Structure 1
Amino acid sequence: MTCDLLIFDCDGVLVDSEVISCRVHAETLTRHGYPITTEQVAERFLGRSGREARREIEAELGRAFDDALEEQLVADVLRSFAEELEPIPHIAEALDALAQPVCVASSGTLKRITFSLTRTGLYARFAPHLFSAEQVANGKPAPDLFLYAAEQMGVAPERCVVVEDSVPGITGARAAGMRVLGFVGGSHCLPGMAGRLRAAGAAVTFADMRQLPDLI
């Protein structure tokens, strides 16, 4: 496939963070009066921005969360990342084999993206080309973030290939007119995920980052 820019999601694609993040979100939300399991967080909010997840939860509760909750969530997630976060296996090897420019388009905040990539030794490979849902009006599954990343990198959407691990991410990339590869090698990926990503529009799915250069 023709590719002038490779756009990576961060969580679950570059760093193996989704199990950690979903666990921390479930624990923190439950403590603040919204009982939810790790599995439910993954099913409902994986791949979406925290801003949109908060809006949905607040609408269900009929009240706004205190801003202290957001601060607590960020602090808890980053503390757990500092202790546990690892890069996706073989991602450095895959990046070494790519000839195309790369960037990140993530539902996480720029603070979280920077922390995650720094912790796993990947920051220098992508900086300063880090793009977050907080920079656009609508996060995934809207196409806004992918279109913003392509515009900032000076590449037409149809010349971009996206690597994603979630249905919202796949949906957003396809809505942006981009081709998408579905990655199912993160520790959060359960049986059936590959089929869900293909149904959402992924051209192919793969579970080992060493396969990526040959798929481009």
Structure 2
Amino acid sequence: MSFDLVIFDCDGVLVDSEVISCRAHAATLTRHGYPITPSGVLKRFLGVSDREARQIVESEIGRKLPDTFEAEVKQATLGFYADDLSAIAHVGDAIASLDLPKCVASSGTPEKIRHGLDCAGLYDQLAPHIFSAVQVKRGKPAPDLFLFAAEQMGANPVRCVVIEDSVPGVTGARAAGMTVLGFYGGSHCTAEHEDMLRRAGAAVTFADMRELPGLIAEIGAKTPVA
């Protein structure tokens, strides 16, 4: 096998949280004069860091959102998490069966990532190798977060395989020179999701985490050693 590191996105890959996050963002944005539905948030900002999503909104409305905006979104998100969050089906077993170093590279804040993984019962399987977009200058779709994660883990980017569910995530990982597997098994995924991931550059796509160990072994065997 030619892979030395498996990098997981968090929301929509480890935890089935995208629908919850979109509900929280939509409610908070609408309250501050940017009317949008949860499906609208999903379509526009899936995979984009909170920081960059905020910049997009502020440029469109021509003013700054309040300083409390992130705290309000966080409060709403964590409130929904307590009642509704679950791990992606079978992902815990998939993680346990991978005999490779593993880490998380997410657009979320460290607090949000930690809370989501805790609620889903996955934190202990992946800690302390958890990296956030706040640790780099540019979030996804830039390659910065993936390159940072590889550097921290001591891995060559070309020997990393990334599990992503968003077009910005796939784009960023490919820009980092990494192989990407596109996951479309989260509750937020539409009928077009698989094709979007393939067009963005995912080497393969899959919807069942029970397939993951076999896919990594199969693709790794075919990937030239750098």
- The verdict on a shared fold, with TM-score over 0.5 as the criterion, is yes
**2:5 equivalent in structure 1:** 5
Distance in 2 of aligned mates of 1:119 and 1:73: 18
- State the superposition RMSD in angstroms: 0.7
**1:23 equivalent in structure 2:** 23
Aligned partner of residue 75 in structure 1, secondary structure: helix
Return the TM-score normalized by structure 1: 0.99
Aligned partner of residue 95 in structure 1, secondary structure: helix
Aligned partner of residue 68 in structure 2, secondary structure: helix
Distance in 1 of aligned mates of 2:110 and 2:160: 22
Aligned partner of residue 177 in structure 1, secondary structure: coil
Question: How many residues align structurally?
Answer: 216
**2:108 equivalent in structure 1:** 108
1:179 aligns with 2:182: no
Distance in 2 of aligned mates of 1:96 and 1:177: 26
Contiguous gaps of at least 5 residues in structure 2: 217-226
**How far 1:53 moved relative to its partner?**
0.4
Alignment-mate amino acid for residue 156 of structure 2: A
**How far 1:131 moved relative to its partner?**
0.2
Q: Percent identity?
A: 63
**CA offsets 1:81-113 (integer angstroms, 9 cap, x no match):** 111100000001111211111000000000001
**1:70 equivalent in structure 2:** 70
Contiguous gaps of at least 5 residues in structure 1: none
**Matches for 1:116-127 after TM superposition, within 5 Å:** 116-127=116-127
Distance in 2 of aligned mates of 1:62 and 1:33: 11
**1:200 equivalent in structure 2:** 200
**How far 1:171 moved relative to its partner?**
0.0
**1:99 equivalent in structure 2:** 99
**Matches for 1:41-190 after TM superposition, within 5 Å:** 41-190=41-190
**How far 1:46 moved relative to its partner?**
0.5
**CA offsets 1:101-129 (integer angstroms, 9 cap, x no match):** 10000000000010011111100111110
Alignment-mate amino acid for residue 207 of structure 2: A
Distance in 1 of aligned mates of 2:167 and 2:33: 28
Return the TM-score normalized by structure 2: 0.94
Higher mean C-alpha deviation, range 1-10 or range 144-153: 1-10
Alignment-mate amino acid for residue 112 of structure 1: K
Distance in 2 of aligned mates of 1:66 and 1:95: 39
Alignment-mate amino acid for residue 130 of structure 1: I
Distance in 2 of aligned mates of 1:126 and 1:206: 22
- Whether the 8 Å CA contact 2:96–2:125 is kept in 1: the answer is no
**2:220 equivalent in structure 1:** none
Distance in 2 of aligned mates of 1:25 and 1:110: 17
**How far 1:2 moved relative to its partner?**
2.0
Distance in 2 of aligned mates of 1:104 and 1:41: 23
